[in-house]
Structure 1
Amino acid sequence: MKTKKNFFQVLAFQFLIWGAQAQEVGQSPWGPEDEIGSLNMMTDSSRIQILSQIGSGQVYDLSVDYFVGMPSFHSLGDPSYQYWLTHTPHGTVVDNPNGMGEAMNEKVSYTGDAVSMYTHMGTHIDALNHFGLNGLIWNGFSPEEHLGDKGWKKTGAEKIPPIIARGLLLDVRALVDSFPPNYRITIQDLKACLKRQKTEIQKGDVILIRTGQAKHYEDAAHYLHQYPGISLAAAQWLVEEKGAMLLGADNLSFEAFPPEKEDNWVPVHTYLLAERGVMFLEQMMLEDLAKDKVYEFAFIAASLKLRGASGSPMRPIAIPIN
């Protein structure tokens, strides 16, 4: 009987440990219907405040080009970027699709094109439905109730508001000559970066991390190979201790691989999206900001309103502030 009692005591203790370690989706402090998470930190007042600090007409484009052969998640079965012409000047003369005749089509040239792509290609933002935990996404929304054949009814990319906020570049790449393969950026790295730049994180900031990986963007094999990314502890520090509203980086998938946890293959993704309701941008172009040592700026961006989608292309810009 004593042995049986001890067994159940050990088992109960183990369940307590498992419960403490279990990851669960977060319930939004902004209410049961919240679909944008930490972007609720942005207000009319905060937008006006950062816009009033703009001290330059110079604009930095923080997005990459889209082209056939660009880096992609094809290894996971997602489609690569495809581009094709639907109309060409010579083709319209031959086909006469508008019925206007040869003379008109020789005079007025016509070019049209189309693209097919995965929504998580190029510079893009991850919506809160991109990754979940234990069958739920942010704020407890379930696929059984909220996922239809044409996408999520909750937290889709169309719900993401235009973003205007203080941006801060953390040029971690400037700290080292090179990163070891699959390097995970630490809290100490971020603190050293802030000290080197003489900058401070403010609550509600957009934090952009430069790893230098964007220099290899035109070479997909190099760009995808053993790239550095943020560690889970560093992401937690930015969100929980420093109050970051939105994160971003210039690598493929924000975090590094292989995963740092045995029970979760994307622990940073699930922590940010499912547990904390914090969106982030991937595959950014931060080289010009770093070259000019522009660390503080007005961050302005908007995603495509792709209804129900788990992410969307985005073209963010940075304008230096006083």
Structure 2
Amino acid sequence: MTETPYVGDFLKDSPRNWGKWGPDDEVGSLNYLTSAEVLRGVAEVRSGEVFTLQVRMGDPSGDPVWPGRESIQRTNVMDEGFFQRGEGVETPGGAHYSDDVATLYLQASTQYDSLGHVWYDGQIWNGYDAATTDGAMEKASVLPIAERGVVGRGVLIDVARHRGKAALDKGETFTHEDLLEIAAAQGSTIEKHDILVVRTGFVGSFYRQSAEEFYDGFLEPGLTYSPE
């Protein structure tokens, strides 16, 4: 039996960007996405097609949430039935309306982890004290990311298709060398400050099997860490 190394052992000699953008920074490498980078991304537009990166919320088949979490719970609090029962609030002109309430885990759909999401040795991003997460995140939350926006030149790296699969297997990995190889095979170039959208197909596989199969031996595929 071998002892699992402490995460700090892996990272203690790795370079980091703490302080690179000043002591008050909360968005990290998104600082690279200047207005010039936004224009560089816009210049790539050819067809004008629009597609979503959103995982449907409240799908009748269930939600592919993290194990142990529940699917979204949605309740109508106003609809035509309320007005038919005389319970709706009448408005000038007689307009009716609907409204609902949803209770959900943040990982019940597509999400964006903040820089303060994970830490060790009592410090989150940029050296902020981990105690700033108590009750609500005071530093390095998703708020400054949302306020800034994430806009630039995007490059889709379709790992699953390159490997001839609808989705990567549980625990299947790939390296940064793989990403460069796949980009070349696709005829894509990865340039400095690009936003990589890496497709594994794993979440989509939830809808092609039972929930029991999906969660059995659950281990998401993904990028393998290396010093390089």
Shorter-chain TM range is 0.7 to 0.9
Instruction: Give TM-score, length-normalised by structure 2.
Output: 0.78
- Is 1:23 paired with 2:11? yes
Which structure would you say has the larger Rg? 1
Kindly report the root-mean-square deviation, in angstroms, between the aligned alpha carbons of the 2 structures.
Answer: 2.8
- Is 1:58 paired with 2:49? yes
Aligned length: 209
* Aligned with 1:147 (options 121, 133, 142): 133
Is this contact kept in 1: 2:116–2:140, CA < 8 A?
yes
Is this contact kept in 2: 1:81–1:117, CA < 8 A?
yes
Secondary structure, in 3 states, of the residue corresponding to 1:170?
strand
Is this contact kept in 1: 2:64–2:203, CA < 8 A?
no
Unaligned runs of 5+ residues in structure 2 are 1-5
Is this contact kept in 2: 1:73–1:80, CA < 8 A?
no
- Counterpart in the other structure of 2:83: 92
CA distance in 1 between counterparts of 2:204 and 2:67 reads: 21
CA distance in 2 between counterparts of 1:108 and 1:227 reads: 47
Secondary structure, in 3 states, of the residue corresponding to 2:152?
strand
Is this contact kept in 1: 2:176–2:223, CA < 8 A?
no
CA distance in 2 between counterparts of 1:181 and 1:119 reads: 22
CA distance in 1 between counterparts of 2:160 and 2:176 reads: 14
Say if 1:186 and 1:52 are closer, same or farther in 2 by CA, change over 3 A: closer
Structure 1 residue 36: Cα displacement: 0.2
- Counterpart in the other structure of 2:141: 156
Is this contact kept in 1: 2:122–2:129, CA < 8 A?
yes
Say if 1:199 and 1:177 are closer, same or farther in 2 by CA, change over 3 A: closer
Larger strand proportion of the pair: 1
Cα-to-partner distance string for 1:210-246 (whole Å, 9 max, x where unaligned): 112243243572555444222112xx65xxxxxxxxx
Is this contact kept in 2: 1:213–1:227, CA < 8 A?
yes
CA distance in 2 between counterparts of 1:122 and 1:223 reads: 16
Structure 1 residue 194: Cα displacement: 2.0
CA distance in 1 between counterparts of 2:57 and 2:49 reads: 23
CA distance in 1 between counterparts of 2:180 and 2:43 reads: 28
- Counterpart in the other structure of 1:112: 99
* Aligned with 2:196 (options 199, 207, 212): 207
Structure 1 residue 70: Cα displacement: 0.5
Structure 1 residue 163: Cα displacement: 1.5
Instruction: Give TM-score, length-normalised by structure 1.
Output: 0.57
Unaligned runs of 5+ residues in structure 1 are 1-17, 238-322
Secondary structure, in 3 states, of the residue corresponding to 2:126?
helix
Structure 1 residue 191: Cα displacement: 3.1
Is this contact kept in 1: 2:123–2:130, CA < 8 A?
yes
Say if 1:30 and 1:64 are closer, same or farther in 2 by CA, change over 3 A: same
CA distance in 2 between counterparts of 1:61 and 1:226 reads: 25
- Counterpart in the other structure of 1:301: none
Larger helix proportion of the pair: 1
- Counterpart in the other structure of 1:169: 156
* Aligned with 1:232 (options 222, 225, 228): 225
1:263-282 equivalence runs, <5 A: none
Secondary structure, in 3 states, of the residue corresponding to 1:194?
helix
- Counterpart in the other structure of 1:81: 72
Identity between Structure 1 and Structure 2 (%): 25
Q: Which runs of 4+ in 1 moved over 6 A?
A: none
Cα-to-partner distance string for 1:60-80 (whole Å, 9 max, x where unaligned): 2222211152011252xx453
Query: Could you tell me which amino acid in structure 1 is paired with residue 224 of structure 2?
Result: S
CA distance in 2 between counterparts of 1:64 and 1:53 reads: 25
